[in-house]
Amino acid sequence: MIWKLALLGFGNVGQGLARLLVEKRKELKRKYGFEYKVVGIYDIKMGGICIKDGEVDLEKLLKIIDGGGMIADYPGASKDLNALGLIEMCQPDILIEMTFTDFETGQPAVTHCRQALANGIHVVTSNKGPAALAKKELWKLASENGVQFRFEGTVMSGTPAINLATGCLAGAKISGFRGILNGTTNFILTKMEGGMTYDAALAEAQKLGYAEADPTGDVEGWDALGKGVILASTLMDTEFRIKEVPRKGITQLKPADIEQTKKEGKRWKLLVECREKDGKVALKVEPVKVDLTDPLASVGGATNALTFDTDVLGPVTIIGAGAGRKETGFSILIDLLWIHSIARGKPLLEVGE
């Protein structure tokens, strides 16, 4: 089967994914039997295209974009396309939802996901809104329609935190987790400790594609909190209302605080912590002074780290990229391959294949 893909949103993540799809096309077919064609792309700022009897040439499109152009400059681009039209007109097998996160309503992404799933289309998303606010409903809708709703890219970009916890650790009880889940703030804190100003560090994080479209989400702790909510609801079956969870970002930390903490032999980290106590689960996000001997202290830049507390193994930690164009694009690729594997009823890699 050749999977028909539609990409909704073509910013940092969409372009990162497109580059990976181009670079790895042959290898994906050879190793996993995964073949694809991108039948449509729509981005609110860049325009859209739908090619029913063929595919979008991603290499050509990326050249246009690298040269300062937009999707609207691709031959045959449609002026009338919109997000829901992409789903209806292009009729993909998989919708890849990579629009901007809105933690207030989850929209318009929740509507995009609903529309696709109700029409028997698998959904893969890196958008935290649907996963944090509407996951149960979307999982149910997916199951009723015989398709999958997957969201690996919502936590730790392409570092497979969700697949690790739900797949590799299946059978273990996860009673809590703690970690660094926002790449932008970890990058800023690392750079500030090295002497850079907050503004310069944030500007660099934006240039490198780490920050959200509105970086307030990163620096005020919303992004880390959204990830905590996604993990808590997925792994510990606990729903949190984002606005009710204690949350502090890093904006109140001044260079003098960072200097002082350094002198104390400690380092600031923005931590997400979720713990079960007396049958209740508590979640919080706040900057914490960690000892330099704490393994989290050495996790610098946009790297993330997450420790799951499990009944069988004790703590299990995963460390890896937490933000970035290709890094988050890779999370989508992981989910595409899982959909492929489950649909064909075979493991991704088989001995002798």
Q: Is 323 in the site for ligand HSE (CB under 6 A)?
A: yes
Q: Which of 224, 233, 228 is nearest to 283 (CA)?
A: 228
Could you tell me the smallest distance in angstroms from the CB atom of residue 212 to ligand HSE? 4
CA angle in degrees (0–180, nearest 5) for 161-163-165: 70
Applying CB under 6 A, the site for ligand HSE has a residue count of 12
Closest separation in Å from C-beta 327 to ligand HSE: 8
Instruction: Dump the DSSP string for 164-193.
Output: IIIIITTTSPEEEEEEE--HHHHHHHHHHH
Q: Which two tokens stand for residue 269?
A: 């980290």
- Segment contacting ligand HSE (CB under 6 A): 70-78, 86-94, 208-216, 339-347? 208-216
The encoded tokens of residue 80 equal: 């009338």
Q: Which of 137, 143, 93 is nearest to 116 (CA)?
A: 93
For position 15 contacting ligand HSE by CB under 6 A, the verdict is no
CB of 136 to ligand HSE, least distance (A): 22
- The total of other beta-carbon atoms located within 10 Å of residue 240's CB is 18
Strands 280-291 and 266-277: antiparallel
Nearest distance from residue 323's CB to ligand HSE, in Å? 4
What's the rounded Cα separation, in Å, for the pair 261 and 192? 12
> In the bound complex, what is the minimum distance in angstroms from residue 54's beta carbon to ligand HSE?
33
Residues 125-184 that bind ligand HSE (CB under 6 A): 157, 182-184
When the beta carbons of 79 and 207 are compared against ligand HSE, the nearer one is 207
Q: Of 19 and 37, which CB lies nearer to ligand HSE in the complex structure?
A: 19
Q: Which amino acid appears at position 331 of this protein?
A: S
Contacting residue, 10, 210, 330, 338, with ligand HSE by CB under 6 A: 210
Considering only residues 97, 152, 223, 309, which one is a binding residue for ligand HSE as defined by CB under 6 A? Answer: 223
Cα–Cα distance for residue pair 68/171, rounded to 1 Å: 49
Q: Which is nearer to ligand HSE, 78 or 304 (CB)?
A: 304
Part in contact with ligand HSE (CB under 6 A); list of ranges 50-58, 115-123, 322-330, 333-341: 322-330
Residues shown for the chain: 353
Q: Which amino acid is at 129?
A: G
Of 42 and 210, CB closest to ligand HSE: 210
Selected from 211, 250, 253, 336, the binder of ligand HSE by CB under 6 A is 211
CA distance 139 to 141: 5
Active site residue 31: no
Residue 97 is a binding residue for ligand HSE (CB under 6 A) = no
Nearer of residues 109 and 141 to ligand HSE, judged by Cβ: 109
Q: Does 106 bind ligand HSE (CB under 6 A)?
A: no
CB of 16 to ligand HSE, least distance (A): 11
The candidate with the shortest Cα–Cα distance to 8, out of 56, 52, 58, 44, is 44
Report which DSSP code applies to 198: H
Q: Is 322 in the site for ligand HSE (CB under 6 A)?
A: yes
- To which H or E segment does residue 24 belong? helix 12-32
Cα-to-chain-centroid distance, residue 349: 24
Query: Is the Cβ of residue 93 or residue 223 nearer to ligand HSE in the bound state?
Result: 223
Which of 135, 191, 227, 326 is labelled catalytic? 227
- Residue 106 dihedral angles phi and psi, to the nearest 5°: 80, 0
Tokens of 242: 């984002």
Which of residues 132 and 323 has its CB atom nearest to ligand HSE in the complex?
323
Could you tell me the two tokens for 199? Answer: 């503004």
| Active centre residues (catalytic) | 227
Binding site for ligand HSE (CB under 6 A): 157, 182-184, 210-212, 218, 223, 322-323, 328
